[in-house]
């Protein structure tokens, strides 16, 4: 299973496989044609409250990860997570995000849960 995280601003690569945007909002300055997004499961993204809390610097990444994983246990999110996991079993999946530090973001949490790095 190959799951990787890339910034949506980076040009698509041939080995990206299925490109999944994991941000709630469409990234500024990126056209839909240039992004080449195959799926956009908004229910997999952190809640607005959790996102605001984390970006306000009120908690650690570990606490954010725990809270986000709890949100991902909700039925709709869990179903979407299973769907993306099934895509990853069939071929490469690239999780796309606009965050500047993907390694300490929700995308990294998703990649780990999906069996990526």
Kindly report, residue by residue over 44-86, the tens digit of the pLDDT. 999 999 999 988 888 899 999 999 999 999 999 999 999 999 9
The dihedral over CA atoms of 97, 99, 101, 103, expressed in degrees to the nearest 10, equals -30
Mean pLDDT computed over 77-105: 94
Residue 117's pLDDT is: 58
By the 8 A CB rule, do 19 and 36 touch?
A: yes
Integer Cα distance of 82 and 9 in angstroms = 26
pTM exceeds cut of 0.75: yes
Question: What's the number of domains the chain is made of?
Answer: 1
Domain that holds residue 107: 3-113
């Amino acid at each position: 299973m190959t799951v990787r995280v890339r910034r949506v601003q980076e040009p698509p690569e041939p080995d990206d496989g299925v490109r999944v945007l994991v941000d709630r909002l469409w990234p500024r300055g990126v056209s839909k044609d240039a992004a080449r997004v195959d799926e956009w499961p908004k229910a997999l993204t952190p809640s607005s409250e959790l996102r605001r809390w984390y970006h306000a610097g009120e908690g650690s990444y570990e606490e954010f990860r725990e809270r986000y994983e709890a949100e991902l246990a909700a039925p709709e999110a869990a179903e979407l997570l299973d769907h993306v996991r099934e895509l990853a079993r069939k071929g490469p999946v690239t999780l796309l995000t606009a965050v500047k530090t993907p390694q300490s973001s929700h995308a990294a949490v998703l990649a780990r849960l999906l069996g990526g790095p």
